[in-house]
Amino acid sequence: MRIESVRSALACAVLCCLIPPMPALAHEKASVPEENVPGREIQFPDTGDRLTLSVDLHTHSVFSDGHVWPRIRVGEAIRDGLDAMAITEHLEWQPHLADIPHEDRNRAFEEALASLPEGSDLLLIAGSEITRSEPIGHMNAVFIGDANALLRRGTPSEPYDMRDYYVQSGQWPAEEVLEAASDQGAFVFWNHAWWQLPNQMARMTDFHIRAVRDGKLHGIEIANGDTYSPEAFQIALDHDLTLVGVSDVHNLIDWDYPPHLGDHRPVNLVFARERTVPSIREALMAGRTVVWYRNLLFGRERDLMPLLEASLAATGAAWRGESSVLELVLENRSDADFELVNLSPHTLTSGADTFVVPAHSAQRYRFRMAGRADEVVIDTQVRNAFTAPDTRAQLRFRLHPE
């Protein structure tokens, strides 16, 4: 045997020892490491009469313009402690179609579903992104039964031209696509309404006004990725649309929202009666959401206040010795670092009107009072919680000191 052949044989033997055998099945389960980044899981308490579920309704995989396989999305969602997630591939924008040809637009959801680890309680929601040029823009339809019914596909050219395919597939009028989504009972929301505009300020159009009027458009993103739109927030309030916050992730979650640096994906906190897909859909249709983006919370007062009251509670109040100094213990049961402004006439001994209650902690604060009383009221403004673009929530603590 020639020396080169012996070397090749030895190399192959070594490689065979180093490379693990390929799985026999095409569908692998999403893997989740035993050790996770401390504090990575998104956690907010349930409110008095609802479950608080963390949901990401806008993600992508290689089946449109994302860069990972669907099972990676599932593993990430489990690590982030999500209750539910939707993989919402572009129907018309298919930049990987030459490399990953697929006639069935349900494939990403099916792959994700097949990759769920045994015993996982992550809920997966079927969805698709409807992609059109301005002024219509992009919309997600979730809780659908068949993504293929929302697409009249063009004929891929030879060689494949992604832009030509997008133009051909986008010829079907968006009004008719929304009708098809409505026939499937979809919850439809308007994506990053500010993204394609020169001044990045969301604005309502005739198309969207008609879609809302006809009951075909139900929500609007106010936070997407690393951007937030106060204009979109105001549109939601003016037109009774559900507030939506999403990651719209295309790369790895850990690249775009590094948890080791304390970051997290934007999500919807959905207030549902049960931890089921139908119950999440009902809550979204009813508009019971708060958006969690960076260290900010956005929601209608009716939804935000019960969350704040469940998240931040006075667990102790006592007079210090014989003085009229009140020691207050505030417990934060959420992921938010709450920034509070003292609105009461009582002054903090720290000398600051603004104080922070870190996430998942209990902190002591001392207030100088004019005198002792059986009941004390401390009014605060929550600087990082908004009920409207320019309106911060206010939280009252009614205390009965010992």
Task: Give burial (CB, 10 Å; 0-12/13-18/19+) of 400.
Answer: exposed
Tens digits of residue pLDDT in 56-108: 999 999 999 999 999 999 999 999 999 999 999 999 999 999 999 998 999 99
Cα(141)–Cα(19) distance, integer angstroms = 41
Give the architecture (CATH level 2) of 312-399. Answer: Sandwich (2.60)
Q: Which ranges in the chain are annotated with CATH 3.20.20.140?
A: 40-294
Give DSSP secondary structure letters for 231-269: HHHHHHHHTTPEEEEE--B-S-HHHHS-GGGT----EEE
- Say what the alpha-carbon torsion angle 121, 124, 125, 130 is, to the nearest 10 degrees: 150
Report the b/e string of 11-32 with b at 16+ CB within 10 A.
eeeeeeeeeeeeeeeeeebbee
> Does residue 344 contact residue 379 with C-beta atoms inside 8 Å?
yes
Q: Using the 8-state DSSP alphabet, how is residue 46 labeled?
A: -
Q: Which ranges in the chain are annotated with CATH 2.60.40.10?
A: 312-399
DSSP β-bridge partners for residue 242: 219
CATH tag for 40-294 (out of 3.40.50.11720, 3.20.20.140, 3.40.50.720, 3.40.50.300): 3.20.20.140
The answer to whether residue 18 scores a pLDDT higher than 70 is: no
Note the residue count of the chain: 402
Tens digits of residue pLDDT in 232-251: 999 999 999 999 999 999 99
> Does residue 142 contact residue 130 with C-beta atoms inside 8 Å?
no
Q: Using the 8-state DSSP alphabet, how is residue 23 labeled?
A: P
Q: What is the pLDDT of residue 7?
A: 40
pTM over 0.85: yes
